[in-house]
Structure 1
Amino acid sequence: MKEINWKRKLTSRKLWAATASFVSMMIVAIGGTESTATQVTALIMAGASVMSYIIGEGLTDSANIETSVDTIAESADNEQ
């Protein structure tokens, strides 16, 4: 069975747009106002943007740390 890449899924704009659309349509379907649906959609998209930024920065930082560790290890090997 293939493993799911949750980092990629959670940073997908398509996922968050679909989620926001579904939630806003459900609000309207159960009798909520369009104004409420719009506000909830805006909150979902804002939250998704923040979460995507945090995950993206975390991945970038971890890649830089791995590169730095590799560079330090290579330098130490060359000195010996």
Structure 2
Amino acid sequence: MNRNDILRKLSSRKFWALLAALATSVLTASGAGDNTVLHVTGVIGAVGACVAYMLAEGISDAARGTGGDKAED
């Protein structure tokens, strides 16, 4: 697995949804309260959205700078 594969996975909404679902399942199985599960899932979703946005912008900026595909804003 190279760097591009890792970046693509980190920018995937499916990956962050999977991580939120996994955290929800683990917290529920361990007896955490509904409030805790909701907070942790919300934080994972927010971090995932930020990471996906930053990586997507970085990739489009890099493509624009190197003469690759011209991504339009």
Question: TM-score scaled to structure 2, two decimals?
Answer: 0.82
Q: How many angstroms apart in 1 are the aligned matches of 2:38 and 2:25?
A: 10
Q: 1:45-60, aligned counterparts within 5 Å?
A: 45-60=45-60
Q: 1:7-26, aligned counterparts within 5 Å?
A: 7-26=7-26
Aligned length: 66
Query: Residue 67 of structure 1: SS of its match in structure 2?
Result: coil
1:8-65 residue CA offsets vs partner (Å, 9 max, x unmatched): 1111111111110111111111110111101100100100000011100100110111
What residue ranges of structure 2 are gaps of 5+ in the alignment?
A: 69-73
Letter of the 2:61 counterpart: D
* Bigger Rg, structure 1 or 2: 1
Once the two structures are aligned, what percentage of the paired residues are identical? Answer: 32
Letter of the 1:52 counterpart: A
Letter of the 2:7 counterpart: K
- Show structure 1 runs of 4+ deviating over 6 A: none
Question: TM-score scaled to structure 1, two decimals?
Answer: 0.76
Query: Residue 31 of structure 2: SS of its match in structure 1?
Result: coil
> Once superposed, what is the RMSD of the aligned Cα atoms?
1.5
Letter of the 1:63 counterpart: A
1:57-78 residue CA offsets vs partner (Å, 9 max, x unmatched): 100110111119xxxxxxxxxx
